[in-house]
Structure 1
Amino acid sequence: MDAEDRTARWERRAGLPLAVASVLFLVSYGVRVLGEGLPEPVRDLCLAVTYASWALFVVDYAVRWRLSGEGPAFVHRHWLDSLVVLLPLLRPVRIVRIYEGVDARRRGEPRLPLQARVMMYAGLSSGLLGVTAALSEYHVEHDAAGASIRTFGDGLWWAAATLATVGYGDVVPVTLLGRLIAVGLMGCGLALLGAVTGSFSSWLMQRFARDGEDPGWPPGK
């Protein structure tokens, strides 16, 4: 069994536990950020769940590094995975990397089901990414001097405008960390938007090509 097969086998086994860990990470982080009035033991439990989930991401990364047999080259060849380990809140954007791998393996096959899945997954990932970015932005901004992001609702509005590349400018980060989060969200938003628009454009081209080959097209011919 070569390295690619071993890695694929590990990813199949670890898929569900990592999905659960991702949900637990987001929920525990959100409860800790938004539940400022909660009892301290509850907040400590949320912190422990957050770190435990993060530890699972690190273990997954280490195992895939070991199975790849690539050595230090694994870090830059899988730069998105490396970034997600450092910043787990970016985990939803891994769908872009998954799309690239699946697309490369399926060339020459019917692509409509894949395109539909990519658009659905990227849409869900955009939503998750927006929520996590809103949590992070609210966390670092709400008590800063001169902040315009005072509530979680402000954070959600800011995240939606940023992901949509609209940028109204009515609420903006004022801290250094908040602006770094904004830059990261802009980059991730463009990547996810590119995955969706690329898949949709490919689907349209496929439909037009199929219609052009249909003897009954255009109607009335």
Structure 2
Amino acid sequence: MTRTQKTVFILIALVALILGLIINKALSGRGQVDSVALIDAGIILLPQSRQLPPVTLQDQNGQPVVVNELKGKWSLLFFGYTFCPDICPTTLAQLRQIKSELPKEAVDKLQVILVSVDPHRDTPTQLKQYLGYFDPQFRGLTGATVDDVQKVSNAVSIPFIPADTSKPNYTVDHSGNLAIIGPDGTQRGFIRAPLNNQKLVAQLPGLLLRK
């Protein structure tokens, strides 16, 4: 091995070490041993928790919910809408299946929340009926205006493009990613779309049940 090759080798080793230390620091204290498996399952944890805005939305029962007060359980926020032709029913069906395969102690610490990106059509009544097709325990949130919903989606870095509601049968462009909200009401990370049921069933309990 030449001196140049040795230098390159040492530099590569140092970069690998530094990257390893950064990842370890970002995930330290999270009680998750296999960070590679987490990432492989599409679970990306933030190096630092992110505060949610104090925006008030309505749930599927017409009750006010302050977004930064979603506490006590782990929440998976999915930004979609009830008239969505494809990604929303597919994602909600997957979340129902994933939930059904999790251990009970993990399910008890989890809530799935559909945040409507179409408050023009998605009334609390519409949300409740729609979510009942998937899981009556799923929660729904809708805003008085699309601006309210955008404040939340932008805060968790899952933006959407508001639709032209004057057009008949309009659709809304949105992401399939989920925001992970911890029991303290802060954002802890994301779950990337498309969801991998098998890998999420294997990895979510370690996240939901950690101290």
TM bracket, shorter-chain basis? under 0.3
User: Who wins on radius of gyration, i.e. which is larger?
Assistant: 1
TM-score, structure 1 as length reference: 0.25
Q: Which has the higher contact order (CA 8 A, sep 6+)?
A: 2
Q: Which has the higher helix share?
A: 1
Q: Which has the higher strand share?
A: 2
